[in-house]
Amino acid sequence: MIRTQVSLAEAEYLAAKREAKRLGISLAELLRRSLRSLLPAEGAKPWMRYAGMVESGDPRSSQGIDEVIYGQKD
């Protein structure tokens, strides 16, 4: 394990300490867990975190993705 130093605003530090205590873990473990939840898994494709976010019910929706996201043009 590598040791590092992080600077936090007092409010962030106090909120993080409270959350760590509520979970029954150390502040360091809370920060490790938080960081792991933001980083892609080893070898994962980062774009996959967005897969399935837009569902239209239309099996051909990928052919008109702009319309799915932005709606029909007037």
Q: How far is CA 30 from CA 1, 36, 62, 63, in A?
A: 15, 10, 39, 43
pLDDT per residue as tens digits for the range 8-24: 999 999 999 999 999 99
DSSP H helices in 1-74: 10-23, 27-38, 65-70
∠ CA 22-26-28, rounded to 5°: 130
pLDDT per residue as tens digits for the range 45-62: 666 666 666 666 777 767
Which residue has better confidence, 72 or 10? 10
